[in-house]
Amino acid sequence: MLKFIRDSNWSSKGHASLLFIILFLSFLSVNLESYSQTLEYSPIITEINLMIDDLPASREMKELIPVKEGESFSLRRITESIKQIYKSGLFSDIQVLKEGEKRIKLTFLLAKKLYTQKIVFIGSSDIPRNKLKEGLYALREGSSYSEDNLSKAIEELKQVLNKEGFFQAEIKAITERDPATSQVDVSFVIRSTKRFVISKISFTGEVLLSEDELRKKIQTKEGKDFIPSILEDDIARLQEIYNSMDYRRAEVEVKEQIFNEKEGKISLLIEVIPHEKIEIVVKGAEVPLNLLRPIWEARIFEEWGLAEGRAKIIGYMREKGHLFSSVNSSIEREDNKILVVYDVSPGERYKIQNISFKGMEYFTPSQIKEELMIGQRIPFLSGIDGARLFELPREIEFLYKNHGFPDTGVDLKFEMQGKKVKPFFFIEEGKQEKIKSISVEGVYLFGQEMLLEQISSVHGGAFFQPNIQKDIEKLESFYLNQGVRGTEISAEIQRMDEDLFSINFKVKEGKKVKIENIVVTGYKVTRKSTILRELSIREGDYARYDSIRETKRKLERLGIFTEVKIEELLVSPDKENLIISVREGERNYASLGLGLETRNEPRSFAIWNNVVRPRGTAEFIRSNIFGSAAQASLVGQISLKEKRAVFSWEQPYFFGLPMETFLNAWLEREERKSFTYERRGISLTGIKSLFKKENMTLLTTLRLARTTL
């Protein structure tokens, strides 16, 4: 039994203190031992292997793995690594195998993302190949490939075949993969399709026209194969016929399709519901009814339809010079008929003279005309039509808002001069809102003055709220172009006075990121050196976004890739890998042409009045020769009187120098009445951009030619 005595002596207190010290030291020794064991037995990653599509990966691809040998094993770190690898966009499946307890061996199993290269259709020649390709959405040439997408593509093809009259189709897909480029060729074998013959076409509903007359209007005929796509076009055609009869809201649809599987026949029942007849009448002026008919096709609020029609008529009349026209509108009903009447008072027709501006101080008339692109195309005329003239007040007000005038008012007035009119705009500018102070806080990587140079807002300048958001975007782009990632920028705006504002940009800077590795994938024929020399950024450089975009543009300009993708893969707070994925295009192009040419310059449109002779042309182009992005072409032309051959060689570099080079050689021979001549020659042309800002280009040509009579 334990007792707690309030007035205990020193001896009992000493025993209690000694017991407490012993317990504390025991607890401390246990925890120290546990901590030392944790350090001793913490799992360490001793080996990392990478397999891509069951094959050992190259050293370059191993750089994609963020986790490194020698690190402590952590499930969280492995999960983050998987996410980072997946962000590269190169792989469709990622698995990680772990072996060992204390000394960990990791094996990353990656499956490359596949892309569809070619799609081929095999089957009856009656099957429309172009419509099959147009109807594919799940699988397209150049898109990603997967088994799920392949299954969806088969179902889409069946729908297209049904629409084209090929029913109950059996489709088998055959795939062939190129392991070097991860591209897949897909062949769809189409067989066992069934067709149906139309046995009868009948109509129901309030048809209005005779059935025989309707049958003549459509391409779907009794006794012919049933093709749903043609029937769909026929339904639209019948709809247009009823619309032209002023039944603007008519409904035409296939009500019934009866298939006879045994006999391979089908009967069709088409229903017609004309609804009310809507006639549109315009009095007082010639206005195209096509301008108004679309308004009344759907069921709308009639008052809105009348107002919309009035606005369209007034705009049309103003374009024709009737600046002061007016329109009254009304609706009359009678049985199943609606009569929409627009009564136009056109007024006089005027020629618009030069426009002028009054009341403004901030802009000059020439500045307003330049900003609003009001040209002086014809002397003494404004160069704009009446419709645009009445839109200018709103455009001028918006122009002033962009320069800090929120309350500007513009009135359009006219000075009459007989059949001519001189418009002028009276502008009440109002007060301008300005920026009293502008500052940036939270910056350490760059000076405040450098950041203020990047934006359009300045001390004492005009204040316009949307411009502040544009300035934020400019600052974000500046940080990206300096290799900084993760920057967050916001703006705090305060009204200091009635028309003065203070702007404070709050910046939460990210970190400067360097390129640790550049990984290039997807090339097969192209040399890696051809790709690398187009890079505007190197390993060890800061990840400048403008340089990354320039790299993408330069690779696309080579003309040998159908797709170029560049992904940034962050491997640590201050390092990232740059993943460049390319897809090579077709290398060969051939064409043949056959036509007629006249011996002399044609003097009549009638071909029989000119001496003609046949002419044939053949062309062959081979691109990306030797994987260097060079291109060679051979063009031959032959007729009864002349022969011509041209060879061209084009390459982006000249002995390693970035200069577009063109080598052309030609040989031609022509027979004439009194003589025959032969001409041959060669030319070498180099094009080099000297100064991009000044847009200066150096063009050098060396040409040798010889003519023999």
Please check the confidence at residue 601 and state whether its pLDDT lies above 80: no
b/e code 133-172 from CB counts within 10 Å (16+ = b): eebbebbeeeeebbeebbeebbebbbebbbbbbbbebebe
- Residue 586's pLDDT band (boundaries 50, 70, 90)? confident
| Residue appearing with tokens 């006879």 | 260
Three-class secondary structure of residue 665 per DSSP: strand
Higher pLDDT pick, 698 / 616: 616
Dihedral sign of CA atoms 241, 245, 251, 254 in order: negative
Look over the chain and give the mean of its residue pLDDT values, rounded to a whole number. Answer: 86
Average the pLDDT over 173-199 and give the result: 88
CA 110 to chain centre: 30
Average the pLDDT over 327-334 and give the result: 92
* Residue percentage of the chain with pLDDT more than 70: 90
Residue 611: phi and psi, rounded to 5, are: -80, 115
Within 42-176, where are the H helices?
Answer: 59-62, 75-87, 129-134, 147-163
Please check the confidence at residue 675 and state whether its pLDDT lies above 80: no
Average the pLDDT over 475-479 and give the result: 96
CA-closest candidate to residue 487, choices 513, 468, 465, 467: 513
pLDDT tens per residue across span 104-152: 899 999 988 888 888 999 988 788 888 888 899 999 888 888 899 999 9
- Which pLDDT value is given to residue 127? 82
Tell me the C-alpha to C-alpha distance, in Å, between residue 299 and each of 294, 580, 626. Answer: 11, 53, 65
Average the pLDDT over 60-88 and give the result: 85
Reading across the β-sheet that carries 434-441, which strands appear in turn? 434-441, 500-508, 488-495
The set of residues, in sequence order, having a beta carbon less than 8 Å from that of 43 and lying 6+ positions away, is 72, 73, 100, 101, 102, 103, 104
Q: What is the C-alpha separation between 554 and 520, in angstroms, rounded?
A: 15
pLDDT tens per residue across span 481-522: 999 999 999 999 999 988 999 999 999 999 999 999 899 988
Residue 369 contacts residue 357 (beta carbons within 8 Å): no
Q: What is the C-alpha separation between 674 and 609, in angstroms, rounded?
A: 23
Amino acid at position 469, single letter: Q
pLDDT tens per residue across span 543-582: 999 999 999 999 999 999 988 999 998 888 899 999 999 9
Quote the DSSP letter at residue 120.
Answer: E
Average the pLDDT over 179-201 and give the result: 88
Q: What is the C-alpha separation between 329 and 292, in angstroms, rounded?
A: 12
- What is the pTM for the complete model shown? 0.76
Residue 521 contacts residue 581 (beta carbons within 8 Å): yes
- Which pLDDT value is given to residue 81? 85
Task: HSE, CB side, 13 Å, CA atoms: give it for residue 302.
Answer: 10
